[in-house]
Amino acid sequence: MEPSSQPLGEAQPGEPQPWEAQPVEPQPGEAPAIRVGDRDRDAVAHRLQDAFAEGRLDDDEFDQRMRAALTARVSTELDVLTADLPAASARPVPAVPAASGPKPGRMAIAYKSSIRRGGRWRVPERFRCLIYKGSGRLDLRAAELAGPVTTMAVTAYKSHVDVLVPPGVRVELNGFGVSKGWSEQEDLEARLPADAPVVHVRGISYKGTIEVSTRPPGGPELPGPSLPARRA
Q: Is pLDDT of 16 > 90? A: no
Look at residue 200 and give its three-state secondary structure.
strand
Compute the mean pLDDT over every residue in the chain, rounded to the nearest whole number.
Answer: 77
Residues facing residue 210 across a β-bridge: 161, 178
**Are the CB atoms for 176 and 201 separated by under 8 Å?**
no
pLDDT at 93: 43
* Spatial CA neighbour of 79 closest among 90, 68, 89: 68
Residue 170 has φ and ψ, to the nearest 5°, of: -80, 135
Torsion of CA 201, 203, 209, 214, to 10 degrees: 0
57-71, 73-87, 106-120, 202-216: least confidently modelled range: 57-71
pLDDT band (50, 70, 90) for residue 94: very low
Q: Is pLDDT of 180 > 50? A: yes
Q: What is the mean pLDDT of residues 2-12?
A: 51
pLDDT at 148: 92
pLDDT at 9: 47
Q: What is the mean pLDDT of residues 36-55?
A: 80
pLDDT at 138: 95
Look at residue 149 and give its three-state secondary structure.
strand
CA distance 73 to 206: 15
pLDDT band (50, 70, 90) for residue 159: very high
pLDDT at 98: 43
pLDDT at 22: 54
* Spatial CA neighbour of 159 closest among 130, 128, 127: 130
Which helix (H) or strand (E) is 51 found in, with range? helix 38-53
